[in-house]
Structure 1
Amino acid sequence: MESNEQKEVADFLEQYSEIFNTMVKQVLSGSDKENLNSMMDSEKLTELLSKGVQVDTAELFSKQMSFMTQQAELWQNATKALLGSKVESVVSEERNDKRFKDSEWSENPVYNYLKQSYLLSSNMMQDTVNSLHFDDPKAEEQVKFYTRQYISSVSPTNNALTNPEVCRDILESKGENLIKGLQNFMQDLQQSPADALKINQTDVDAFTLGEDLAYTPGDVIYQNDLIQLIQYKASTKKVNEVPLLFIPPFINKYYVLDMDEQKSLIKWAVGQGHTVFVISWINPDKTLSHKGFNDYMKEGPIASLDVIEELTKSKKVNVVGYCIGGTLLATTQSYLLAKGDTRINSLTFLTTLLDFEEPGEIGVYLSEKMLPFLKKDIKEKGLLDGRVLGLAFSMLRENSLFWSYFVNNYLKGKDPAPFDILYWNSDSSNLPAETFDFYMTNTYQENNLIKDGAVEVEGVPIELSKIDTPSYFLATIADHIVLWQASYKGAKALSGPTRFVLAGSGHLAGVINSVDHGKYPHWVNEELSDTAEQWFESSTKKEGSWWTDWENWVEPQSGKQVTARKQGSKKYPSIEAAPGSYVRKRI
């Protein structure tokens, strides 16, 4: 290596050292010893395995014997392969496992052995855990989740010296890929909070809001501390009398519903003759740490209803809530009905949880020991850093959303490709400490929201069972954040006429599966069966987007046709063009 190259590497290492040391100081100075130990307790897994666990010894012994037999066969095959013989694989990766797609993993005897040895060991670890029977289902979920995380982390694909693609890149670039990878790593560290690594998943300079994404014409016609309210320009001469309001999740940016023309539910709804309004949440900083869940309700949906009623002169509004926005919508409607306010004409819940008994894999982060620490830590900081939450969600699909980018960005030294959904996914939003505490306590921790009267908002008991408003629930079959069976329980909890529809794909792709470009089917059933499984067994599969089914449901509840409305009014003039300024604030 030339002297100038040596100096370049040394400079990189020195810069990395400075950044890393700064991060360590931030972590140590911001955490007391008790909290630090609670996060780094090496005995957590031992504790989980020591209480209420029974071992199926017969099954475990059988799996161990099978593992030993397969390992012996693998050794024999590896020896034959090195001598030039063709041999069958002892174990193969799953068809959707993209980590071993390079031909070297199957054609090179050494890499093929590394792959198969890893797969055998992985299967053995999983079989060992599966032979354990837990009294506490939550403990079982945690053990299986963290076992999977460990298995994924030690894959030979994640090591520069055992990944054939990386080895080729090192030889071809003379090691420059590693220097570029280190540079990428340091840039990500600089953009990360002390609590988590925010790994770059897309080219953040490839998109501009208002040009490439979120460019459906409209105006911000109202704003307060927490929201900007956008009214979209009508694209039809006549519109429905009853306007339509979208409430996106306040832990994300709204433009997931307005990505581009091919995936914009907002633009499509405008084209169907709806007067569309959308809440664009602020990305809060510490000055808003005092804002609670009640503030999000009053300054969000309720303030929007007031403005929409004044603008459109309509006494009724159809409202759509997405994910946590749907949870807020249900809470708001219960609150309003208790006060005699019936302005919400219909409710649409997109991938929404109301009953948190089955929270999905995100629940593994929220154990009885972890939640108090999280609440205390977030209260001290004033907010939940959205990048930490983003990492937590990425680790639910760790191989596709974390380790693949670790290899691409840091080991291969490449920049991630532009991808609009991942751009949105990386555009995180913070959450005020007060809101986080209220929400976590009454949903994931104690599941109070589904219990009538267990939650009060400004002295008003929240009783979901008394909501008799026509409701439409959309869940997605491969959702790992909101299990569709859990969403179904929420649909059963309300007392009004309810339609439940199940869409293909997951939490994002299944929702923005458009009519013209959609590739996922949906399932419908005119009856709301006792259980989700019964509903699915008697459901009918329909090809294409669920959007048309929803439009057929909401259109009869949208009133007569009236002349298209202009954006804003004298009282609510245009503040700025959509998408507004709140959505542009990045962490």
Structure 2
Amino acid sequence: MEAQNLNEPHLPTLEQMQQWTEVMGRAQQLLLEQAAGATGRALPFNPDAVARIQTSFANEGLALWQRFLDSGGMLRDQAEPPPPSSPAARKDRRFADPAWSNHPFYDLIRQSYLLLSDYLLKLTDAVDGVDPKQKAKLRFATSGMLDAVSPSNFPLTNPQVMEKTLQSGGENLVKGLQHMLADMEKGQLTQTDGAVFEIGRNIATTPGKVIKETPLYQLIHYTPTTDKVLETPLVIFPAWINRFYILDLSPEKSFVKWALDQGISVFLVSWKSADASMKDLLWDDYILRGQVDAIDTVRELLSVPSVHTIGYCVAGTTLAATLALLAARGEADKVASATFFTAQVDFSEAGDLSLFVDDDQMKLVDQLSTSGFLDGRYMAATFNLLRGRDLIWNYVVNNYLLGQDYPPFDLLYWNGDTTNLPAQWHKNYLTQLYRDNQLVVPDALSIDDTPLDLRKVETPLYIQAGREDHIAPAESVWKATSHFSGPIRFLLAGSGHIAGVVNPPAAGKYQYWSCDELPKSLEDFVADAKETKGSWWPDWAEWIKSLGDSTVSAKKGGRVPGKGSLKALEDAPGRYVKQR
């Protein structure tokens, strides 16, 4: 039987249109009464603002119905755009299929949903007299609820799903059910075909050796690719919330390989995913037995006074504490420079993640970590919630409703390769930093009985932020510039938390903004900054070399992995990154 095309002009019949009109009218009225009634009674609204919002909603709703009635239930010409005043005129990838605009039934559903979404979000903003954090929680919850109930997420109200179901005889739903059951069994949403990738074979392939292993980390020394290297080596600290190979996805995307090609000796810390043996680990351990230990190890191996360092995300936050600790101990000269990849030290404007630090969330962490460590799937779900439309519901539609095959995508494979976290450390991080913002308060935190004061840090810093970062917002990353005493170069990269960092020059993607002198505010920076097309990596390499350094042979002694005082234990990427 030939599949029925949802865009054929003989659909729908007059009787169907009359029924749809009645049903949608009743549905819209129920939603209006619920939003304006129950929600309005539960929260203290600004009455003037609510009156304006309700009037606008009513007027736009009437205009929507008038346009629908004027169309006579006829299909819209594909060349005819939706009315510019309508919320449906907005670009929204969920409704990109032409049927959403051309078919009267789906067009009405779409525009009604967008109109109601606008109304509820504006109503949320009209809440008055509550704590700003509570208001932010309300807006986040409202936005998440609206994303969840989008008509694109349900088979009967998604024209793409209906057409695919008719064409395949329902095979897409059977395949989607298989996908969903498999995800339920593993407790995690699948975003890509994991069978395509293998660590050490087609990702994390940069040659090197593991030269040290502790209960907390493995230290990887990468094989030089140039005859001469900077005398001062580089030690990279990835976030232990994820696997390190985000910086070594493939030779074309690898920051590690690119840094080697710039004539830099590269060492990288591969953190161990937490298990029950790590239940007592705290932030002190990641600082003292992690970062400080790795810095001292590399210094001793190469007989150099100092190292360059990079800290990504939470490892950047930790690197700031490490610098403060070394400064307090009179050992600041162990670090020649520190680079922060999308890292926060001042959490006063930390974005939506700060909504997950209340008492209820802490109780949930306790419930999920009875063995002393937090399953990484919990953190993955939290990060996905921050962009639920793109990282959850997009895959619900594609994987479960359309039954599409998973595309091979190395970045998404990395995103799903979760790591476990020591539970007590994680709770302390959320409460002491995200909730109480203690790192920027002089002497509020101590490591090994040494009070931390970021103002004592005079190390040259390179602070990179992502313009569209939803995990470490640019506004939050910028705040670090006011807490240190040394020279700072701030750079704003295009894109977000991952793509803004992993942007190799050869790709020719995105752009970055920079200023020769550090302005007083992010607003001044944006106003004065020079835009440069492409990757910011060359800017960073130029900055590193501008600090002044001699070059040495890359072929002698400890510069060759495993040939110095620390012998090779195994080939990179090592066993820790493969442990689950």
2:209 aligned with 1:219: yes
2:336 aligned with 1:345: yes
**Contact map agreement 2:210 2:568 (CA 8 A) in 1:** yes
How much does 1:116 deviate?
0.9
Compared with structure 1, are the counterparts of its residues 128 and 213 closer, same or farther at alpha carbon in structure 2 (3 Å cutoff)?
A: same
- SS of match in other structure, 1:296: helix
- Note the alpha carbon deviations across 1:38-70, whole angstroms, 9 max, x for none: xxxxxxxx999999x753322321221222222
**Counterpart amino acid of 2:362?**
P
Match of 1:316 among 306, 318, 335: 306
2:105 aligned with 1:110: yes
How much does 1:375 deviate?
4.4
Match of 1:159 among 125, 138, 154: 154
Match of 1:497 among 469, 487, 491: 487
How much does 1:187 deviate?
0.7
Equivalent residue number for residue 46 of structure 2: 56
Match of 1:566 among 553, 560, 564: 560
- SS of match in other structure, 1:277: strand
Matched residues in 1 for 2:347 and 2:110: separation? 39
**Contact map agreement 2:366 2:423 (CA 8 A) in 1:** no
**Counterpart amino acid of 1:344?**
V
How much does 1:165 deviate?
1.1
Equivalent residue number for residue 330 of structure 1: 320
2:574 aligned with 1:584: no
Matched residues in 2 for 1:426 and 1:558: separation? 40
**Contact map agreement 1:220 1:579 (CA 8 A) in 2:** yes
- SS of match in other structure, 2:128: strand
Equivalent residue number for residue 420 of structure 1: 410
**Counterpart amino acid of 1:321?**
G
**Contact map agreement 1:105 1:112 (CA 8 A) in 2:** yes
**Counterpart amino acid of 1:304?**
A
- Give the alignment's Cα RMSD to 1 decimal: 2.1
Matched residues in 1 for 2:553 and 2:59: separation? 76
More off after superposition, 403-412 vs 82-91? 82-91
Matched residues in 1 for 2:38 and 2:439: separation? 31
Compared with structure 1, are the counterparts of its residues 317 and 460 closer, same or farther at alpha carbon in structure 2 (3 Å cutoff)?
A: same
Compared with structure 1, are the counterparts of its residues 48 and 236 closer, same or farther at alpha carbon in structure 2 (3 Å cutoff)?
A: farther
Equivalent residue number for residue 138 of structure 1: 133
Equivalent residue number for residue 253 of structure 1: 243
Matched residues in 1 for 2:516 and 2:129: separation? 38
**Contact map agreement 2:242 2:419 (CA 8 A) in 1:** yes
Match of 2:295 among 298, 305, 308: 305
**Contact map agreement 2:365 2:374 (CA 8 A) in 1:** no
Equivalent residue number for residue 6 of structure 1: none
Equivalent residue number for residue 363 of structure 1: 354
**Counterpart amino acid of 2:335?**
I
**Contact map agreement 1:528 1:535 (CA 8 A) in 2:** yes
Compared with structure 1, are the counterparts of its residues 48 and 222 closer, same or farther at alpha carbon in structure 2 (3 Å cutoff)?
A: farther
How much does 1:307 deviate?
1.9
**Counterpart amino acid of 1:548?**
P
**Counterpart amino acid of 1:359?**
A
Equivalences for residues 362-381 of structure 1 within 5 A: 362-367=353-358, 369-378=359-368, 380-381=370-371
**Counterpart amino acid of 1:355?**
D
How much does 1:148 deviate?
0.3
2:112 aligned with 1:122: no
Compared with structure 1, are the counterparts of its residues 225 and 309 closer, same or farther at alpha carbon in structure 2 (3 Å cutoff)?
A: same
Compared with structure 1, are the counterparts of its residues 325 and 67 closer, same or farther at alpha carbon in structure 2 (3 Å cutoff)?
A: same
Compared with structure 1, are the counterparts of its residues 50 and 67 closer, same or farther at alpha carbon in structure 2 (3 Å cutoff)?
A: closer
Gaps of 5+ in 1: 1-45, 193-197
**Counterpart amino acid of 1:377?**
Q
**Counterpart amino acid of 1:175?**
G
2:535 aligned with 1:545: yes
TM-score for the superposition, normalised by structure 2:
0.88
- SS of match in other structure, 1:408: helix
Matched residues in 2 for 1:82 and 1:286: separation? 66
Matched residues in 1 for 2:505 and 2:478: separation? 24
**Contact map agreement 2:362 2:427 (CA 8 A) in 1:** no
Compared with structure 1, are the counterparts of its residues 47 and 568 closer, same or farther at alpha carbon in structure 2 (3 Å cutoff)?
A: farther
Equivalent residue number for residue 205 of structure 1: 195
How much does 1:498 deviate?
1.0
**Counterpart amino acid of 2:86?**
V
Equivalent residue number for residue 395 of structure 1: 385
How much does 1:358 deviate?
0.8
TM-score for the superposition, normalised by structure 1:
0.87
Matched residues in 2 for 1:456 and 1:96: separation? 49
Match of 1:410 among 397, 400, 408: 400
Matched residues in 2 for 1:142 and 1:308: separation? 45
Matched residues in 2 for 1:345 and 1:164: separation? 58
Matched residues in 1 for 2:528 and 2:323: separation? 31
**Counterpart amino acid of 2:289?**
E
Matched residues in 2 for 1:493 and 1:325: separation? 18
Compared with structure 1, are the counterparts of its residues 93 and 392 closer, same or farther at alpha carbon in structure 2 (3 Å cutoff)?
A: farther
**Contact map agreement 2:137 2:355 (CA 8 A) in 1:** yes
Match of 1:241 among 231, 242, 252: 231
Matched residues in 2 for 1:405 and 1:242: separation? 45
How much does 1:424 deviate?
0.9
Matched residues in 2 for 1:333 and 1:104: separation? 57
How much does 1:510 deviate?
0.8
- Note the alpha carbon deviations across 1:201-256, whole angstroms, 9 max, x for none: 11111111122211111111111111111111001001110000100011011111
Equivalent residue number for residue 513 of structure 1: 503
- Note the alpha carbon deviations across 1:259-284, whole angstroms, 9 max, x for none: 12222111111011100000011111
Compared with structure 1, are the counterparts of its residues 246 and 49 closer, same or farther at alpha carbon in structure 2 (3 Å cutoff)?
A: farther
How much does 1:371 deviate?
3.8
Compared with structure 1, are the counterparts of its residues 170 and 273 closer, same or farther at alpha carbon in structure 2 (3 Å cutoff)?
A: same
Equivalences for residues 460-539 of structure 1 within 5 A: 460-539=450-529
How much does 1:523 deviate?
1.0
**Contact map agreement 2:147 2:389 (CA 8 A) in 1:** yes
Equivalences for residues 174-185 of structure 1 within 5 A: 174-185=169-180
**Contact map agreement 1:203 1:418 (CA 8 A) in 2:** yes
Matched residues in 2 for 1:103 and 1:463: separation? 57
Equivalent residue number for residue 13 of structure 2: none
- Note the alpha carbon deviations across 1:342-394, whole angstroms, 9 max, x for none: 31111111111000111111112223x32431343255341121111111111
Equivalent residue number for residue 266 of structure 2: 276
Matched residues in 2 for 1:398 and 1:85: separation? 32
**Contact map agreement 2:249 2:410 (CA 8 A) in 1:** yes
- Note the alpha carbon deviations across 1:89-111, whole angstroms, 9 max, x for none: 46244654111111111111111
How much does 1:84 deviate?
2.9
Compared with structure 1, are the counterparts of its residues 290 and 47 closer, same or farther at alpha carbon in structure 2 (3 Å cutoff)?
A: farther
Aligned residue pair count: 534
Matched residues in 2 for 1:568 and 1:492: separation? 41
**Contact map agreement 2:438 2:445 (CA 8 A) in 1:** yes
Equivalent residue number for residue 147 of structure 1: 142
**Counterpart amino acid of 2:102?**
E
Compared with structure 1, are the counterparts of its residues 549 and 47 closer, same or farther at alpha carbon in structure 2 (3 Å cutoff)?
A: farther
**Contact map agreement 2:75 2:104 (CA 8 A) in 1:** no
- SS of match in other structure, 1:571: coil
